[in-house]
Chain A
Amino acid sequence: MRVLIDGKGAAVVLFLLLSCWISPAQESRIGNLVGNAKHGKALYQRYCIFCHGPEGDGRGDSAPYLDPKPRDFTKATFKCRSTPSGSLPLDSDLYDTITRGVHSSGMPSWRPLLRQERADLVAYIKTFSSRFQEEQPGTPIQVPPEPPTSPESVKRGGELFQSVNCWLCHGKEGRGNGPSASSLTDSRNYPITPFDLTSGTRLKCGDSDQGIFRDLSTGLDGTPMPSFTSALNPDQMWDVVHFIATLRAPAKHHSIELTASPKAD
């Protein structure tokens, strides 16, 4: 029997037809907000294009002068997510990043934009990579309730910080000067330094204990920071979080939140 449609062709036709059912990637859903990519495109060209580039590949006019470099949306690899390493972010993860900004980088907090505008931007950003149409995001990490900190928890956390090799990058005191720190590059081969936990600077993906737990679970994709779900169970993760809290500079050194905030909106 002659082959009329081969397997590849069939898959393409199937996908095109099924895409009528799947919510198009031209939309985003955050809470009860529905973002529209067409509106998002006009907003992107007003606000985002000079860093992230007209093709969304992070090669805007300003990009050569920025460190860290603007995100390349075409790879769909994002640092700040609530989904496992390697997975797409949720729409709300992108929305939170836009709202919160990324501290210590060129990405400002876009909170002054209307909520609808931010949702529209999320919808447009998703059009830069076909992964948003081909894949679904992974199951989000559930952050369990935090047990109270204690000297024992901090001690266990310190031992884990050592045994799970955090110190090799972050240094024994968390200053970001571990033996491997100077060799680190991000996934576009730009040099990158581990976070200096003692600096008093806000963390990039949200500054609370829950945020740190989530970062340890998801890893920061695109950077050397891995996911620790294979290495630490939830109790151990909280121990590490409690230990990290003792490394960080006292709260008074934190600069005031101008438009960013640990909780987005």
Chain B
Amino acid sequence: MKKKYLCGVTAVVVSLGSMFWLAHTATVAADAPAGSVTGVVKFQGAVLPPARIDMSSDPNCLKAHPSPGTVEDIVVHSGGVLENAVVYVSGGLEGRTFQPPAEPVVLEQKGCTYKPHVIALQTNQKLSVVNSDSTTHNIHPIPNNNREWNMTQPPGVPLEQTFAREEIAVPVKCNIHPWMRGYIAVFKHPYFAVTDKDGSFELKNLPPGSYTITVWHGKLGTQSQKVTVGEGKTEKLEFAFKQ
């Protein structure tokens, strides 16, 4: 009993003390003009036409998706640019903590597919899942480093969750509609981007310094490059996956 009391008192003292230090760390290095890293992710190699998805098991999906959906494992657009690649800072941010933004990131279920196929958000940032279809889905992320949950969602009913730990990336699926696959990449910091149809990315507001930039793709793996960001400068990088 006495030991617990002593523990408790020390805990309060240390926690109060550490809060002061905490307040200081947040303000460090906020003063120098920020730079950015931009670029493009490419894919070099033969691109097979994507497989078609058979949605006939659920008539509601068939109706909502008149032209057949396709598997989105590797999506390459004209110019050999790769969609759904996640580019992020993987080194150089040691010792810094970041607060999650207040706005949620939205994952939409539309036409019985996930839109977008890959999303990225910060730890403890709200994920807002939206069901725009006329059929009930279930959202089932299968993380390695976060809690696993599995919730059904009828049309129009809102659903919000957060992820507590960094994980790149959490596969998410709908068990009811087995072709629905996506990824949720969770970061401790805000320096990430998911490439769109033009394969481009931009990591803004980076304080000057040396960083390692990594690109992750669900099927093609990861690649990293080092870059030094000067004050107010924009560095250009290019990543290329080969197959």
Contacts and interface: CB of A to CB of B under 8 A. Distances in A.
A–B contact with Cβ pairs below 8 Å: the answer is yes
Interface of A: 1, 3-11, 13-14, 17-18, 20-21, 75, 77, 84-87, 131, 135, 163-165, 168-169, 178-180, 183-184, 187, 219, 221-231
A225 B150 contact: yes
Contact of A3 (B3, B14, B21): B21
Contact of B136 (A5, A6, A231): A231
8 contacts: A3-B21, A3-B24, A6-B25, A8-B95, A77-B148, A86-B149, A165-B152, A226-B152
B175 interface: yes
Nearest to B144: A75
A231 to B, nearest CB: 4
Contacts of B157: 230-231
Contacts of A84: 149
Interface residues on B, range: 35 or more
A10 B178 contact: no
Given A168-B176, A169-B176, A7 B148 contact: no
B78 interface: no
B46 interface: no
Contact of A227 (B10, B24, B150): B150
A224 B138 CA distance: 9
B7 interface: yes
A184 B175 CA distance: 7
A59 B97 CA distance: 37
Contacts of B135: 165
A184 B25 CA distance: 47
Interface in B1-31: 3-4, 7-8, 10-11, 14-15, 18-19, 21-22, 24-26, 28
Contacts of B154: 164, 230-231
Nearest to B135: A165
B155 to A, nearest CB: 10
A180 B175 contact: yes
A180 B179 CA distance: 9
A165 B58 contact: yes
B176 A21 contact: no
A17 B153 CA distance: 41
Say what secondary structure dominates the interface of chain A: loop
B8 A230 contact: no
Nearest to A8: B97
Interface string B135-169: 11111101000011111111001010100000000
B175 A224 contact: yes
A221 B152 contact: no
Contacts of A14: 11, 14-15, 18
B82 to A, nearest CB: 26
A169 B137 CA distance: 12
Given A87-B147, A168-B176, 4 more contacts: A6-B25, A7-B97, A187-B148, A230-B154
A17 B159 contact: no
Contact of B150 (A6, A165, A221): A221
Contacts of B178: 180, 183-184
A135 B164 CA distance: 11
B22 A7 contact: yes
B148 A86 contact: yes
Contacts of B25: 3, 6-7
A131 B18 CA distance: 24
A187 B142 contact: yes
B18 A10 contact: yes
A44 B25 CA distance: 45
A226 B8 contact: no
Contacts of B14: 10, 13-14, 17
Contact of A168 (B10, B57, B153): B57
B189 interface: no
A17 B11 contact: yes
A7 B25 CA distance: 7
A18 B176 contact: no
B177 interface: yes
Contacts of A10: 14-15, 18-19, 21-22
